[in-house]
C-alpha cells in the first residue's frame, strides 16, 4: 500500500469512527429523559405494583412535596428567583419555569385568580406519555406544586383539586390551588 492509499484508508477509518460516535451520541439518554423516566415512569409503576394506586399516589405526592420544600429552602439561587416574584400567580409561575429550566415545557394559562384560589388550565404536559399509562404519576407534579405553595405562602393543603385531567383522557388539566389553608375539614 502506497502513501496515498494509506491516507485514504486512514480517512475511511476515521469517517467510520466518527459515524459510530455520532450513533452512540444520539443513543445517549439525556438527564431530562432519565429524570422523566424515573420520576414519572419507573417510580410510580413500582409504587403502584407494591402498594396499589391510592397509596402510591399519596406516597408520590407527599414525598415530592417534602423534596420541593427542602429544595426551595436550601437552594438560595432558586429561592431568590421565587422571592422576587410579586403576586401569588407570579410566584406560582416559578413552579412551571423550574420545569421549563429542566427541559419540561408545560403549556398552561391562569384562568382565575381570587383571594381564595388560583385556577390553572394545563394544555400540554411533558409527562403525558407516562401519566396516561399510570395516572398515579400525576401526583409527582402535584407534590411539587404543593411544596411550592407551602414554602412560599405557608399554606399546607392536603391536595390540589383537579376538575379535568389529560392523563384520564380530558383535553386539558384544570387544577385549583387554594391560596389559604382550609379552616375546616368536612367529613361525609
| pLDDT tens-place string over residues 146-185 | 888 888 777 788 878 999 999 889 999 999 988 776 664 4
18 φ, ψ (degrees, to nearest 5): -60, -45
Inform me whether the pLDDT recorded for 25 exceeds 60: no
- pLDDT tier at 35, thresholds 50, 70, 90: confident
pTM of this prediction exceeds 0.85: no
CB 68 within 8 A of CB 148: yes
Higher model confidence: residue 86 or residue 28? 86
What is the predicted pLDDT for the residue at 123? 92
**CATH for 31-178 (3.55.50.30, 1.10.10.10, 3.90.1520.10, 3.40.350.10):** 3.90.1520.10
Amino acid at each position: 500500500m502506497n502513501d496515498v492509499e494509506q491516507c485514504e484508508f486512514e480517512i475511511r477509518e476515521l469517517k467510520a469512527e466518527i459515524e459510530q460516535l455520532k450513533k452512540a451520541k444520539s443513543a445517549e439518554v439525556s438527564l431530562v429523559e432519565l429524570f422523566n423516566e424515573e420520576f414519572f415512569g419507573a417510580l410510580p409503576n413500582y409504587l403502584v405494583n407494591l402498594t396499589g394506586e391510592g397509596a402510591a399516589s399519596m406516597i408520590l405526592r407527599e414525598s415530592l412535596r417534602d423534596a420541593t420544600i427542602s429544595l426551595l429552602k436550601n437552594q438560595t439561587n432558586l429561592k431568590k428567583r421565587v422571592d422576587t416574584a410579586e403576586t401569588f400567580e407570579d410566584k406560582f409561575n416559578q413552579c412551571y419555569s423550574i420545569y421549563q429550566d429542566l427541559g419540561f415545557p408545560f403549556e398552561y394559562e391562569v384562568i382565575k385568580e381570587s383571594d381564595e384560589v388560583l385556577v390553572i388550565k394545563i394544555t400540554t404536559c411533558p409527562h403525558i406519555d407516562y401519566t396516561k399509562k399510570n395516572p398515579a404519576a400525576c401526583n409527582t407534579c402535584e407534590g411539587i406544586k404543593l411544596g411550592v405553595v407551602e414554602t412560599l405562602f405557608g399554606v399546607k393543603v392536603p391536595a390540589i383539586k383537579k376538575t379535568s385531567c389529560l392523563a384520564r383522557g380530558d383535553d386539558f388539566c384544570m387544577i385549583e390551588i387554594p391560596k389559604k389553608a382550609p379552616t375546616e375539614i368536612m367529613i361525609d
